[in-house]
Amino acid sequence: MKLEAERKLSGALYHLKRMEKFYLKEDEPFIYELEAFLVKVRGALDALLWDFNVKFKLGFKEEDRVDFKNFMLRACELGNEEALEFIKWWKEVFSKLRGSKFGFLFDKRNIAVHKKRVKPNLIQVQVTESLSILDSVTVTVYDKSGRMKENIEIGSGHRPSAGLRTSVEVGWFFKDYPGEDVLTLCWEFYNKVCEVVKVAKEKFDP
């Protein structure tokens, strides 16, 4: 059976692909998709608690708050060892993600939900110049004894000419983590959460 966490990730992937469509083209639609993505991908981690509440028959209802503390208390009350093993694992994984380079994205999600819109607040422009020399090339062929057999000329034989090539790369970034553009970072975050959900299924719901 498909987990609710997996459905959240399907939604996150939808918004992530929409982000690709608007990246560096239209900032307003990009921001809408970014905020929706952050809510969905972060929600997948919470949805795991609901999924395994159902599996371990902890008795939470849809209107109940299912977080780490309540999950742990209910599992202790019921003496459910499997549920306790799961929630300890979940907390460890969650803490590692929160303490990683993706940690600030948790905060961005909270800001988007409870306070104001979230958008990339840094634009980086990288200019690269390369010099290429266009000329013919002569290749000398030797036999096994080291004696020259022939010269082969490859190319036009025209006078050398130099060409200066300039490439410009522009990216949207968060000041909180300027090392990678927003799109790359969100793809990495998505893949990390996908891995968490996958491991949860393999480890606790084989």
Please provide the average confidence, as pLDDT, over all residues in the chain.
Answer: 86
Q: How far is CA 101 from CA 178, 179, 185, in A?
A: 11, 10, 9
Q: What integer pLDDT is reported at residue 122 of this predicted model? A: 75
Segment among 63-72, 107-116, 144-153 with least mean pLDDT: 144-153
- Tally of CB atoms within 10 A around 196: 20
For residues 91-106, average pLDDT = 97
Q: What integer pLDDT is reported at residue 137 of this predicted model? A: 47
- Tally of CB atoms within 10 A around 35: 19
Q: What integer pLDDT is reported at residue 170 of this predicted model? A: 78
45 class by beta-carbon count within 10 Å (0-12 exposed, 13-18 middle, 19+ buried): buried
User: Which pTM does this prediction carry?
Assistant: 0.79
Nearest 10 degrees: Cα torsion 52, 192, 125, 32: -20
Q: What integer pLDDT is reported at residue 36 of this predicted model? A: 97
Residue 40 clears pLDDT 80, i.e. is over it = yes
Q: What integer pLDDT is reported at residue 1 of this predicted model? A: 74
